[in-house]
Amino acid sequence: MEILAKNYLHENISELGLKFPCEKCKNDVLAFALNRLEPKYVSNVRGHAFVKAQMMTDQYKTDIICALTNAVQVVNNNPDCSFCEYEECPKSSSS
């Protein structure tokens, strides 16, 4: 799941609306989203095949997109990166 979420984030960073696409903010978005998605652990080949098939469903992809979108909103509202030192940071303009 982490790989799918990471790939989607990097391929759609501008569409998701992340204001400060530095590595710190991207990692914050990914961590926030993954903590809200249900993990899928398996211990055998049959389980791996089942989970892989589940990951191909539209619902699974939608869950990842929703989690990433929500995470971007949280990070945009609470950035914790080098851009926060500058005036264009939403945090510094609200002070």
Reported as type and span, the H/E element at residue 67 is helix 58-77
- Tell which residue, 66, 86, 85, has the closest CA to residue 12: 66
At residue 10, the pLDDT reads: 94
At residue 84, the pLDDT reads: 60
The pLDDT profile of the chain, 95 residues, written as one tens digit per residue, is 888 899 999 999 989 999 888 888 999 999 999 999 998 888 988 888 888 888 888 999 999 999 999 999 999 998 887 666 554 554 444 44
Count the helix, strand and coil residues of the chain and give each as a percent rounded to the nearest 5.
70, 0, 30
pTM check: above 0.85: no
- Tell which residue, 20, 43, 5, 16, has the closest CA to residue 90: 20
At residue 93, the pLDDT reads: 43
